[in-house]
Structure 1
Amino acid sequence: MQKEILYLKIATIIEEQITSGTLKTGDKLPSIRTVQKIYNVSINTVKQAFLELESKSLIASRPKSGYYVSRGFQSNLALPSMRQLKLSEKEKAPEDLISKVFNTFTDKNITQFSLGVTDKSMLPIAKLNKGVIKILRNLEDSGTAYEPAQGNINLRRNVAKWSFTWDGHLNEEDIVTTSGALNALLYSLMTVTNPGDTIAIESPVYFGILQMIKSLGLHIIELPTHPVTGVAIEDLKKVLPKIKACCLVSNFNNPIGSCMPEENKKEVVQLLTLHNIPLIEDDLYGDIFFGTNRPKPCKAFDEEEIVMWCGSVSKTLAPGYRVGWVAPGKFKEKLIRQKLIQTLSSPPLYQEVIADFMEHGRYDHHLRTLRNTLYTNYLHFQRTIENHFPENTKISKPQGGFVLWLELDPKIDTALLYDIAIQHKISFAPGRMFTQHDQYNNCMRLNFAVKWDEKTENSLKKLGQLIKQQL
């Protein structure tokens, strides 16, 4: 009885600190051993207290890092709404907005919530620099020679080994290296489509994918995407007779953050296999998960080699290195021919540096730190948005990646709001950038892979004020 009272007493004290705001969302709790010493109780008593707080969703554990205040998951804000499937909408290209947002990229005075890039403070730059020196010293020709079109053998081997994190059974012969994930998607699209074909994609979708598909003379069907579970299988079934290929970001979609449940991924692969439709899968964010396990990509359920699994280190390690890959399944030889035509060979230097970084466990260690930082940032953003944005704001609740999708009052046009925000040195990505149609005009994407400091917090609060003023 005494033990039961003790653990509840500790849980109540911590709960009161969370409720009063002494402990804020994203704050790390003292370790179990520290709490044990403070209250002079057993380890089990502290564990019971933490379990009690976890059961109320007040705290969450992070593997090998400890416990964090996670009240943010009990957000009072609703999820963004899911649009209906429409097959006959007129197009309204977002190129004007995309150019406007990209033109602010180099201005250091602007708080960049707009571009999906990890802040350099989160990247192991010093270790990568050491790797460059080491590889330059050891690499024959110092990286000046051509490589085989399939790409660097060391990188391919390490990517294949890394696939064990999602039960992948890949080997080095299954992989082709590329200049980033977008390049992998481009080769994949060119391999399995011809101009005039139709592709099914998620909606909203990353604008780079939209622009690429259009540049190849392909037509697009946008599949409405649920902010938690992704594309509805029923919507996909409706468009199967019309499409030549399907392109999905199944894990932590950019911009809406959805992660398709495993059973849905399995069903999608079975459905597309049955109709002999290739699936181009962008798994760029799969390693940035906030739970205990990495979600499997659709590739894990691919028995007939119809999934072209694309990835890179652009979001996790070194955006400017442009190191990516694709496991193209049965389309490998055709894709290598495309690569030969387009680029002949990938630069060997940075492929070797990334292979070396992956090979010695540093990538795994770096990812653990990165995930903890991004998860904490996510909770900071969620709390600040809840406190300073209008009450009818809807917000995504991603379980990984580093982008948030916000749906504002229907009266707000985020393209107009962007012009006002830029005057206050704040940049975000207006919703219309992520569709080929006239929709998502009251939505925005925010990147939370930024350094969380006073400037960032004040910019986010200011953005909330500007939205309120527009209402």
Structure 2
Amino acid sequence: MTNKPVQINAKFKYQKLVDEIVVAIESGLLTGKLPSVRKASKDRSVSISTISQAYAELERLGWIFSESKRGYFIHQTRNENSKPQYGHDITSISNGRSLAESVQYSLNDPNVFPLSSTAPSSVLDNEKVLNRLSKKTSNNRVFQKNLEEPIAGLPEYRQALSRYWLSQSLLLTQDQIIATHGRNEGLLTALLAMNKSGKAVAVESPTSFYFQAVISQLNFDVIEIPQQHNYQDELMLLELAYSTHKFDCLVVNPSFNDPTGRLLSKGDKLDLLHWASRNQVTIIEYDRSELYFSCDKPSSLVNLAINHSIDNLRLISIGDFFDTLSPTLKLGYMVCLNCFQECLLTRQTTLEPVNLHMQHIITECLESGQYSKLLRNLRHQLRINYIKANTIFSELLELGTYISQPNGGPCLWFQLPKGVSSHGLWEMAINAQLSIAPGTVFSFSNNFEDFFRVTFALPWDDSMESALIKLTKLTKDFVK
């Protein structure tokens, strides 16, 4: 029987119920025993079948467990460990240290299973589709002499992106879009263009290893703002850091943060945008909003800034097709609000033009509707992989281990019991030919030693399942 892709954003009733119950558990409103299926059906005015599906899903995800003739109960460890703390101390770091080279090297070792990787598009093999698009566009004269080099990218490519976003109620012109070789180059361009003074750069913490790799190349000092569960508390820390350090740029990953999986609410995102506008701080967003799989599509910062007409805001939103189509694609884009010329000049003077044939391929992919179809397939498979991985890892909850519950993105974020370091687990995993990402690689100041990150976004086969089962056993043995 073949699995058919489904439209994830058209959420079923039971999925909405699952989300509501998870929020209630996380907030501490639900503890102990859940209402019976019949009582919940009556209280919520939904069918018994809907409640049964929701409870079954929650059990698969590890939030609840059932006991014969007694009913359904919430995992106590899930409730107690549902909100890891990242501290309240703002850290200023003079950059220049080496970053977790061993984690990177492990990704290139064919004998090590790469659970530390984070390429969402790896779950599907789109090679045939991309090869077909490549052949279809190969008659374009990519080597034609062109005295007016399209530094911002091919007009057709930028127009295709504009039309794609217009279908999602985001009005952008091609004069706000710059083609890049991918997210790394996008961030590099943004930082060079917006931080000419060489001031420190602020980042949320934990922060993406990709952010660290790029910022370290520039040798900028860094201000780490620890993530808070109440985003108003985080904004207060941001204000405190700004009053002390007066940074020009803030780099954020507000939708499915790497590594925590955090998704900021629309209200929190708007508060952040207004704060940046008031303080004239440029926001650089790594936009992963396309990677949702069990919620409605979240708004990107650029979407909110335009649709809410936030004035005096300089904002750069970075995206690429490495995340959504194939890890082999070196093509992305920058959306530049109120800073297009600065970014374009920086790109022109410091970086090479983007491959024209690659732009033709993605233009055809966007215009033909193929991209939307491939995204639906991607979200469907990410959700399947997430559920399977979560089921395997649920055994760790009994040990007091926290496991994130993201609604999108490619990875899970773990916190080991107090006093247990992920460095030792990393050594055990490498000896067993598995690679994980220890928590300290997500901090410039080596914080989060008791955390680690694992991907579920790899092709699901026997080797993937075996690797997750092996890691679960290693973690249990290590914690005990």
Superposition TM-score tier, normalisation by shorter sequence: 0.7 to 0.9
- In 2, Cα distance between the equivalents of 1:72 and 1:86? 32
Instruction: Say if 1:410 and 1:145 are closer, same or farther in 2 by CA, change over 3 A.
Output: farther
- In 2, Cα distance between the equivalents of 1:231 and 1:209? 23
Deviations 1:60-100 (A, max 9, x none): 9xxxxxxxx85445583333512223235677977352x21
SS in 1 for 2:316: strand
For the 8 Å contact 1:403–1:447, the answer to whether it is kept is yes
Alignment counterpart, residue 351 of structure 1, candidates 359, 365, 370 = 359
- Note the C-alpha offset of 1:112: 1.2
For the 8 Å contact 1:357–1:363, the answer to whether it is kept is yes
Matched, 1:247 2:251: yes
Alignment counterpart, residue 380 of structure 2, candidates 368, 372, 376 = 372
Residue correspondence of structure 1 range 162-177 to structure 2 within 5 A:
162-164=164-166, 166-177=168-179
- In 2, Cα distance between the equivalents of 1:133 and 1:216? 38
One-letter amino acid of the structure 2 residue matched with residue 107 of structure 1: D
For the 8 Å contact 2:86–2:448, the answer to whether it is kept is no
SS in 2 for 1:259: coil
- In 2, Cα distance between the equivalents of 1:359 and 1:264? 33
What is the match of residue 463 of structure 1?
A: 471
Residue correspondence of structure 1 range 154-165 to structure 2 within 5 A:
154-164=156-166
SS in 2 for 1:314: coil
Alignment counterpart, residue 323 of structure 1, candidates 312, 324, 331 = 331
What is the match of residue 294 of structure 1?
A: 297
What is the match of residue 394 of structure 2?
A: 386
What is the match of residue 190 of structure 1?
A: 192
What is the match of residue 84 of structure 2?
A: 81
What is the match of residue 222 of structure 2?
A: 220
SS in 1 for 2:289: coil
SS in 2 for 1:112: coil
What is the match of residue 50 of structure 2?
A: 51
- Note the C-alpha offset of 1:240: 2.6
Instruction: Say if 1:180 and 1:90 are closer, same or farther in 2 by CA, change over 3 A.
Output: closer
Q: Which stretch shows the higher mean deviation, 216-225 or 323-332?
A: 216-225
What is the match of residue 411 of structure 1?
A: 419
For the 8 Å contact 2:121–2:323, the answer to whether it is kept is no
For the 8 Å contact 1:202–1:248, the answer to whether it is kept is yes
What is the match of residue 127 of structure 1?
A: 129
- In 2, Cα distance between the equivalents of 1:417 and 1:87? 28
- In 1, Cα distance between the equivalents of 2:51 and 2:325? 37
Instruction: Say if 1:111 and 1:231 are closer, same or farther in 2 by CA, change over 3 A.
Output: farther
- Note the C-alpha offset of 1:132: 0.8
Unpaired runs of 5+ residues, structure 2, are 1-13, 15-45, 65-73
- Note the C-alpha offset of 1:247: 0.9
Q: Which stretch shows the higher mean deviation, 315-324 or 244-253?
A: 315-324
SS in 2 for 1:405: strand
- Note the C-alpha offset of 1:167: 3.1
SS in 1 for 2:399: coil
What is the match of residue 112 of structure 1?
A: 114
For the 8 Å contact 1:199–1:221, the answer to whether it is kept is yes
- Note the C-alpha offset of 1:427: 0.7
What is the match of residue 436 of structure 2?
A: 428
What is the match of residue 209 of structure 1?
A: 211
What is the match of residue 235 of structure 2?
A: 233
For the 8 Å contact 2:392–2:468, the answer to whether it is kept is yes
- In 2, Cα distance between the equivalents of 1:293 and 1:144? 45
- In 2, Cα distance between the equivalents of 1:230 and 1:130? 49
Q: Which stretch shows the higher mean deviation, 362-371 or 145-154?
A: 145-154
Instruction: Say if 1:192 and 1:121 are closer, same or farther in 2 by CA, change over 3 A.
Output: closer
What is the match of residue 438 of structure 1?
A: 446
Deviations 1:351-395 (A, max 9, x none): 110111111111111111111111111111111111256521101
- In 1, Cα distance between the equivalents of 2:358 and 2:254? 27
For the 8 Å contact 1:230–1:259, the answer to whether it is kept is no
SS in 2 for 1:183: helix
Q: How many residues align?
A: 414
What is the match of residue 20 of structure 1?
A: none
One-letter amino acid of the structure 2 residue matched with residue 419 of structure 1: E
What is the match of residue 273 of structure 1?
A: 277
SS in 1 for 2:290: coil
Instruction: Say if 1:70 and 1:354 are closer, same or farther in 2 by CA, change over 3 A.
Output: farther
What is the match of residue 313 of structure 1?
A: 321
- In 1, Cα distance between the equivalents of 2:399 and 2:286? 34
What is the match of residue 29 of structure 2?
A: none
What is the match of residue 34 of structure 1?
A: none
What is the match of residue 26 of structure 1?
A: none
SS in 1 for 2:203: strand
Alignment counterpart, residue 182 of structure 2, candidates 180, 183, 187 = 180
- In 2, Cα distance between the equivalents of 1:227 and 1:457? 32
Residue correspondence of structure 1 range 53-72 to structure 2 within 5 A:
53-54=52-53, 56-59=54-57, 71-72=61-62
Instruction: Say if 1:307 and 1:101 are closer, same or farther in 2 by CA, change over 3 A.
Output: same
SS in 1 for 2:338: helix
Instruction: Say if 1:382 and 1:144 are closer, same or farther in 2 by CA, change over 3 A.
Output: farther
What is the match of residue 24 of structure 2?
A: none
One-letter amino acid of the structure 1 residue matched with residue 413 of structure 2: W
- Note the C-alpha offset of 1:110: 2.3
User: Normalising to structure 2: TM-score of the pair?
Assistant: 0.80
For the 8 Å contact 2:96–2:219, the answer to whether it is kept is no
- In 2, Cα distance between the equivalents of 1:351 and 1:143? 15
One-letter amino acid of the structure 2 residue matched with residue 275 of structure 1: N
What is the match of residue 6 of structure 1?
A: none
One-letter amino acid of the structure 1 residue matched with residue 299 of structure 2: K
- Note the C-alpha offset of 1:290: 1.6
What is the match of residue 362 of structure 1?
A: 370
Q: Which stretch shows the higher mean deviation, 406-415 or 330-339?
A: 406-415
SS in 2 for 1:95: coil
What is the match of residue 451 of structure 1?
A: 459
For the 8 Å contact 1:314–1:322, the answer to whether it is kept is yes
SS in 2 for 1:184: helix
- In 2, Cα distance between the equivalents of 1:89 and 1:467? 33
- Note the C-alpha offset of 1:128: 0.3
